[in-house]
Amino acid sequence: MLSISGVDELTMPYPALKKTDICDCKEINLAKRKDADFYQLNRLSKEFDLLILQVPRRAFSHISKQFIATQSAFVISNSDYQETGVVFSPWCDTLQELETYAVAHHIDILYEHLSSNTRKQ
């Protein structure tokens, strides 16, 4: 497996978001942040209607016998993520890691996004 600064890469397509992940995720608005910091993510979200999602990771607690939220991860998805759960990136710990992944794999991300749009039609 290849790794970019701690990001474990899987083969695309990435596993879909689960319904519990979708309920708790938050859409990140990059327009409020400096464009220079996350240029590729900003471009993907503005020009191709992709979304940056903050998704809570879950760990099983042996004390409460339940899954509890631990830290957040960031992923790239499309506007239909609530219905399809489609993800175009690995789960990254920081926005900077996701930006690094997006710069290195923007063609793959766009290919998956555009081919998923044609499958729906």
Q: How confident is the model at residue 52 (pLDDT cuts 50, 70, 90)?
A: very high
Q: Where are the alpha helices (DSSP H) in 18-78?
A: 19-24, 39-48
Predicted confidence at residue 74, as pLDDT, reads 92
Instruction: For residue 58, give the DSSP letter.
Output: E
Rounded Cα distance between 42 and 33, Å, is 9
Name the β-bridge partners of 14: none
Region 50-60 average pLDDT: 83
Instruction: For residue 111, give the DSSP letter.
Output: H
Q: What is the identity of the amino acid at 20? A: T
pTM over 0.85: no
Rounded Cα distance between 63 and 67, Å, is 10
| pLDDT greater than 50 at residue 102 | yes
Q: What is the pLDDT of residues 70-97, one digit of tens each?
A: 788 899 998 888 888 888 998 898 999 9
